[in-house]
């Protein structure tokens, strides 16, 4: 059952390296090319796609926000990510050259189902990224790429999220491959690192004790804020969502660049602020900007909890708490940066005496609109 863990959530967090590896299994060949034969949308159709729309809810939506960045970067196809519950109510522009990607762990989320039905009625092709074999969303889609997370029981999504990311990276890279996009060193390097990433997730899990300790020390706080940029922004949103649903705390994620447009007014003495720092390699301008954000909020009294790449000494002087994560290619960082936030929320919920696997007012799959 819970395999010796107190909660399903803890078990599912621990299963992430395997879930990630299983989702990659058989999908990258020895030469580093992608094989997604199960996606039964012909390559000729994929080559004609001129727009991609990702629809999803909650945690799956955060995976979708990261998917957008990966898809646009590797394929140069314009991509937008939209909350499934908003999608069909705004008369979206869709036609037969639009690819809609519907992400859902359960495959039964009504908002996502209604969005994909609407997309198909307009002639768009729908690809589901789903964790549940034979569920409604894949059955009603043109194709499906299954995530192989195994059953996820805890209401808070953890391993499903990581595998949704993996599946979306695979879709993005596959689209780049069939469209003959420049398969340069960068992409080759990403495929290689993706195929080895489960070991890095494992390494992160081995270093989580200080994160648990930190979470316990914050159990009487009212608010935790999360900041990130680029792929770190959806990670910040995901960290905040986990904390809301599990710890019943006020938690908000912001794009760090928005701080000065309002949220910085929230910073006061001892407010915990988690900052997800991008790799100092990759997009180094973003890195510099985040480091100055950390300085700014710390000068205003925030308690800074900094998630940064191992060896990134530039953040050390401004961090009240440091959580190191392994170096990864920029777009893959969420696979390692999300894990401490899951552990953090789970431990805070426990410290506050909450029911971790079954938070109040929530259901595992939301089958009403």
Question: Least distance from C-beta 183 to ligand M6R, angstroms?
Answer: 31
- DSSP per-residue codes, 277-344: PPPSSSSHHHHHHHHHHHHHHHHTT-EEEEEEETT-GGGGGG-SEEEEE----GGGTHHHHHHHHHHH
Contacts of 93 by beta carbon, 8 Å cutoff, 6+ apart: none
- Does position 356 bind ligand M6R by CB under 6 A? no
- Does position 105 bind ligand M6R by CB under 6 A? yes
Which of these ranges, 57-65, 263-271, 284-292, 326-334, lies near ligand M6R under the rule CB under 6 A? 57-65
- Does position 57 bind ligand M6R by CB under 6 A? yes
Write out the binding residues for ligand M6R, residues 229-248 only, by CB under 6 A: 241, 245
Our CB check for ligand M6R shows the closer of 314 and 365 to be 365
Which of these ranges, 100-108, 185-193, 196-204, 323-331, lies near ligand M6R under the rule CB under 6 A? 100-108
* DSSP class of 131: S
Our CB check for ligand M6R shows the closer of 46 and 115 to be 115
Alpha helices in the chain (DSSP H): 8-14, 16-24, 43-48, 58-75, 84-87, 110-121, 136-139, 159-178, 185-205, 209-217, 232-247, 284-299, 334-351
Our CB check for ligand M6R shows the closer of 60 and 71 to be 60
- Does position 106 bind ligand M6R by CB under 6 A? yes
Question: Least distance from C-beta 153 to ligand M6R, angstroms?
Answer: 12
- Does position 104 bind ligand M6R by CB under 6 A? yes
16, 75, 85, 109: residue in contact with ligand M6R (rule CB under 6 A): 109
Tell me whether residue 244 is one of the annotated catalytic residues: no
- Whether the CB-CB separation of 278 and 235 falls below 8 Å is answered with no
Spatial separation of the C-alpha atoms in residues 28 and 35, rounded to whole Å: 6
Measured from each CB, the residue nearest to ligand M6R is 58
Query: Is 122 exposed, middle or buried (CB count within 10 Å of its CB: 0-12, 13-18, 19+)?
Result: middle
Question: Least distance from C-beta 346 to ligand M6R, angstroms?
Answer: 11
Question: Least distance from C-beta 136 to ligand M6R, angstroms?
Answer: 11
- Whether the CB-CB separation of 360 and 101 falls below 8 Å is answered with no
21, 126, 155, 194: residue in contact with ligand M6R (rule CB under 6 A): 155
Burial readout 221-252 (b: 16 or more C-beta within 10 A, e: otherwise) = beebbbbbbbbbbbbbbbbbbbbbbbbebebb
- Does position 85 bind ligand M6R by CB under 6 A? no
Question: Least distance from C-beta 57 to ligand M6R, angstroms?
Answer: 4
> 83 in helix, strand or coil?
strand
Q: How many residues bind ligand M6R (CB under 6 A)?
A: 16
**H-helix or E-strand containing 264?**
none
Spatial separation of the C-alpha atoms in residues 286 and 292, rounded to whole Å: 10
- Does position 297 bind ligand M6R by CB under 6 A? no
Interface residues toward ligand M6R, by CB under 6 A? 57-60, 104-106, 109, 112, 155-157, 241, 245, 365-366
Q: Catalogue the active-site residues.
A: 364
């Amino acid at each position: 059952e819970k395999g010796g863990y107190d909660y399903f959530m803890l078990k599912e967090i621990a299963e992430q390296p395997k879930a990630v590896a299983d989702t990659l299994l058989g999908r990258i060949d020895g030469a580093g090319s992608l094989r997604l034969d199960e996606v039964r949308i012909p390559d000729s159709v994929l080559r004609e796609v001129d727009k991609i729309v990702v629809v999803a809810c909650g945690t799956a939506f955060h995976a979708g926000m990261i998917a957008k960045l990966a898809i646009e970067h590797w394929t140069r196809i314009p991509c937008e990510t939209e909350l499934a519950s908003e999608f069909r109510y705004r008369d979206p522009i869709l036609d037969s050259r639009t690819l809609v990607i519907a992400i859902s762990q359960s495959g039964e989320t009504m908002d996502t189902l209604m969005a994909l039905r609407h997309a198909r009625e307009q002639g768009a092709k729908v690809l589901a990224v789903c964790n549940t074999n034979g569920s409604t969303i894949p059955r009603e889609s043109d194709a499906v790429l299954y995530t192989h997370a195994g059953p996820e029981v805890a209401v808070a999504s953890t391993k499903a999220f990581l595998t949704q990311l993996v599946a979306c990276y695979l879709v993005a890279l596959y689209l780049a491959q069939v469209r003959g996009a420049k398969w340069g060193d960068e992409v080759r390097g990403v495929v290689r690192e993706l195929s080895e990433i489960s070991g890095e997730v494992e390494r992160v899990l081995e270093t989580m004790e200080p994160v648990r300790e930190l979470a316990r020390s914050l159990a009487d706080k009212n608010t935790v804020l999360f900041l990130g940029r680029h792929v770190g922004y959806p990670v910040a949103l995901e960290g905040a969502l986990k904390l809301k649903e599990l710890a019943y705390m006020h938690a908000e994620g912001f794009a760090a660049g928005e701080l000065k447009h309002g949220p910085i007014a929230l910073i006061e003495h001892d407010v915990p602020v988690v900052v997800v720092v991008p790799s100092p390699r990759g997009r180094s301008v973003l890195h510099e900007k985040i480091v100055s954000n950390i300085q700014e909020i710390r000068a205003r009294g925030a308690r800074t909890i900094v998630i940064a790449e191992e060896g990134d000494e530039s953040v050390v002087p401004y961090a009240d708490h440091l959580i190191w994560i392994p170096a990864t290619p920029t777009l893959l960082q969420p696979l390692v940066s999300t894990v401490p936030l899951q552990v953090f929320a789970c431990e805070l919920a426990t410290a506050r005496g909450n029911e971790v696997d079954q938070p109040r007012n929530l259901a595992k799959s939301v089958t009403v609109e």
